[in-house]
Amino acid sequence: MKMNFDLAPDRRGTDSVKWDNVAAEFGMTPGDDILPMWVADMDFACAPELMEAVRSAFTPGVLGYRNLSSRFHEAIAGWMQKRHGLTVPADSILPLPGVIPGISAAISAFTQPGDGVIIQPPVYPPFMGVTRNMGRVVLENTLIEHEADGILTYEIDFDGLRALAARPDARLMVLCSPHNPLGRVWSREELTEICRICAENDVYLVSDEIHSDIILGGAQFTPILTAAADCGITSRICQLGSPSKSFNTAGTHVAYTIVPDARERSAISRVFGSMHIPADTFISTEVVTAAYGSAGYYPDELSAYLTENMDFFVDRLRAALPGIRLTRPQATYLLWADFRGCGFPAEKVMRLLCDEARVAPDPGEWFAADRKGCLRINVAMPHHMLEEAADRIIRTLRAATEKENHQ
Ligand SMILES: Cc1ncc(COP(=O)(O)O)c(C=O)c1O
């Protein structure tokens, strides 16, 4: 292992969203004892090769306008080939200032106000947020839940998806692949079926693959463009990615989309162009070339560490909290836990954890309105911090259950 993920950089007082906003975000008394487990951002250092590459962008001592290098496109095409077996022409890649801005641009380019956008909740909240902010209508195809021995798994409701896609107002689908917050890695067959349903109904398919490089315990990730190729689809589809989750570079706003169809690429570019918003940043080339080049070892080392973290955390909570139901994610560092059968008022779980355990995950209702009493928990932290978090969560929730039993 090149990286030592047991060491956490101290991020308090560094204008960190995760650490410095947590108390205000969740109405907690400020204090150094808070353990943030919200927002998809990791408490691990970046690869030294990546930091060095970013520093090199500044060495001439000039901060003037910069071109995006062709090395940006080549690095992404190379990574897609090497890591995911996907061949993409370099000129089909567009830079983005973020994956969500890319999704917004696609919604703007390919739908009209009042049109329907299909999403699959519980899902990353900005999918709903940007759709509504742009005057489009959210069409929900809720994922089907299964449980075996306290472990939750999810599958796509294909009948529901077919019915929604057939609606005349359905114009676009935003797929989260792998899925945040439920940690599913969709199979090639599932992805092919989604491609077919969208194509048959003329629904534009946008696949957010920001989490595709963190795969836990050996699942097999398939890019949407691979599945699309399986069924001969080359238009009305785009794939979005970024090194931001798997290399911990979210603050750099470096992302990209791969759009096979040239006219659709122009339509997305025009959305940024119409507002004179640059889609690349000063360090886009360095972040991407280093991540997908000399720092390319990082996601596999990270995934191995995170698999251990996840197994530890899931097993510890399951053993200690009867009635808890949770995922064992195939991807991401985000766990989904349902506390509604634990014997205490689950609607209080967020307050109990924030105020008593001093641990701050994301509330479930952010991801689907009917999931109050569920939480998304970020385990991307050194193991000793995760042990401390697990102990605090268990102590607090056991006490809440005991209190309930004595009432
Ligand atoms: C599924 C998903 N998409 C997009 C984002 C955010 O991407 P960006 O910051 O590049 O807009 C996140 C961040 O957690 C995410 O989980």
CATH of domain 62-291: 3.40.640.10
Could you state, in order of their start, the residue ranges of all structural domains in the chain?
17-47+297-401, 62-291
Conformational region of residue 152, where left means phi above 0, alpha means psi within -120 to 50, and beta covers everything else: beta
Calculate mean pLDDT across residues 199-212. Answer: 98
pLDDT computed for residue 206 by the predictor: 99
Taking only the tens place, the pLDDT of each residue in 231-242 is: 999 999 999 999
Q: Which of 37, 100, 256 to mutate to test the pocket of ligand 1 (most atoms within 8 A of CB)?
A: 100
Q: Indicate whether residue 208 lines ligand 1 (CB < 6 A).
A: yes
Q: Indicate whether residue 180 lines ligand 1 (CB < 6 A).
A: yes
Cβ atoms within 10 Å, residue 52? 13
Residue 404 has pLDDT above 90, yes or no: no
Residue 407 has pLDDT above 80, yes or no: no
Taking only the tens place, the pLDDT of each residue in 110-124 is: 999 999 999 999 999
Give the CA distances from residue 98 to residues 56, 95, 242, 250, 307, in Å, rounded to whole numbers and listed in that order: 22, 9, 8, 9, 27
Same fold yes or no, 17-47+297-401 and 62-291: no
Q: How far apart are CA 279 and CA 158, in angstroms?
A: 35
User: Which strands sit side by side in the sheet containing 334-338, from one edge to the other?
Assistant: 144-148, 151-155, 325-327, 334-338, 374-378, 362-363
Q: Is the pTM of this model over 0.85?
A: yes
Question: Of the CATH numbers 3.40.50.40, 3.30.2290.10, 3.90.1150.10, 3.30.70.890, which one belongs to the domain with range 17-47+297-401?
Answer: 3.90.1150.10
The token duo for 89 is 């022409």
Taking only the tens place, the pLDDT of each residue in 137-190 is: 999 999 999 999 999 999 999 999 999 999 999 999 999 999 999 999 999 999
Q: How far apart are CA 376 and CA 176, in angstroms?
A: 16
Taking only the tens place, the pLDDT of each residue in 21-51 is: 999 999 999 999 999 999 999 999 999 999 9
| 283 Cβ neighbours under 8 A, 6+ residues apart | 54, 57, 252, 254
Range list of β-strands (E), 209-345: 237-241, 255-258, 325-327, 334-338
Taking only the tens place, the pLDDT of each residue in 306-364 is: 999 999 999 999 999 999 999 999 999 999 999 999 999 989 999 999 999 999 999 99
Mean pLDDT of the chain: 97
Residue 406 has pLDDT above 90, yes or no: no
Calculate mean pLDDT across residues 60-73. Answer: 96
Write the DSSP string, 333-397. Answer: SEEEEE-TTSSS-GGGHHHHIIIII-EE-EEGGGT-TT-BTEEEEE--S-HHHHHHHHHHHHHHH
pLDDT computed for residue 20 by the predictor: 98
Q: Indicate whether residue 99 lines ligand 1 (CB < 6 A).
A: yes
